[in-house]
Amino acid sequence: MILYVIMFTMYDFSVERMDAVMKCPYCAHLESKVVDSRPAEEGSSIRRRRECLSCRKRFTTYEIVESLPLMVIKRDGSRQAFDKNKLMNSMLKSCEKRSVPMSTLERLAGEIEQSLQNEMEREVPSTEIGELVMEKLKDVDEVSYVRFASVYRQFKDINTFMAELTKLLEEK
Ligand SMILES: [Zn+2]
């Protein structure tokens, strides 16, 4: 889940989307101070009274917090909400009987989730997530990495599997 803050300025009966920058509706100055702030519409938005630091005029903004799920596009084209637990589980399988601490996997899953959300794309192909996992597992545990890659890349035969192994060894 990601939180978006959308800000509006209301004046003269019109609503202008401000893209998170509070521009004074009178003089277009970008800095203002909040003089009053209170929840509106049962807490789904916050009403703020602001004063422009340049012309000292006052205006009202509404900040609406929206939450949108991050969707994963699977290989067959279907969409599914991003699930950090699923990501953890797929990494756990690859790390079976390896000495990778649970806390490390949690950290990796957190980092992956964070970087996906930073992209601000609402839909991410599962292949992109797979690449991120491989990139991170490679630094943590090579056996887990090769296991994950073999499932993820769906190695058809021993040759493609060997090719991946050779590539890994060459990078060292
Ligand atoms: Zn102003």
pLDDT in tens, 88-137: 988 998 888 888 898 999 999 989 988 887 776 788 898 889 889 988 99
CA of 31 to the centre of ligand 1 (A): 8
Same domain, 40 and 94: no
CA of 6 to the centre of ligand 1 (A): 21
CA of 62 to the centre of ligand 1 (A): 17
The predicted structure's pLDDT at residue 136: 92
Same domain, 63 and 76: no
**Domain termination site, one of 67, 85, 120:** 67
**Domain termination site, one of 67, 86, 116:** 67
CA of 45 to the centre of ligand 1 (A): 24
- The sheet with strand 123-125 has its strands ordered as 79-81, 71-73, 123-125
Beta bridge pairs of residue 7: 63
pTM: 0.56
Q: How much of the chain, in percent, has pLDDT values that exceed 70?
A: 76
Same domain, 38 and 100: no
DSSP states of 11-37: ETTEEEE-TT----TTT--S-EEEEEE
Same domain, 17 and 85: no
Number of separate domains in the chain: 2
- Name the residues around ion ligand 1, CB cutoff 5 A: 24, 26-27, 29, 52, 54-55
Give, in order, the Cα–Cα distances in Å from 60 to each of 46, 66, 117: 10, 19, 30
Same domain, 124 and 157: yes
The predicted structure's pLDDT at residue 17: 44
Same domain, 34 and 81: no
**Domain termination site, one of 17, 33, 67:** 67
Task: State yes or no: pLDDT of 54 exceeds 90.
Answer: yes
pLDDT band for position 27 (cuts 50, 70, 90): very high
Same domain, 87 and 134: yes
CA of 9 to the centre of ligand 1 (A): 13
Would you say 126 and 112 are in contact if contact means Cβ atoms under 8 Å apart? no
Cα gap 70→124, rounded to integer Å? 8
Would you say 29 and 23 are in contact if contact means Cβ atoms under 8 Å apart? yes
Task: State yes or no: pLDDT of 156 exceeds 70.
Answer: no
Mean pLDDT of all residues in 153-172: 70
Task: State yes or no: pLDDT of 1 exceeds 80.
Answer: no
CA of 12 to the centre of ligand 1 (A): 15
Same domain, 57 and 75: no
Would you say 164 and 142 are in contact if contact means Cβ atoms under 8 Å apart? no
CA of 23 to the centre of ligand 1 (A): 8
72-85 per-position pLDDT tens digit: 998 888 998 888 88
Same domain, 156 and 88: yes
Same domain, 153 and 81: yes
Domain of residue 49: give its range.
2-67
CA of 51 to the centre of ligand 1 (A): 8
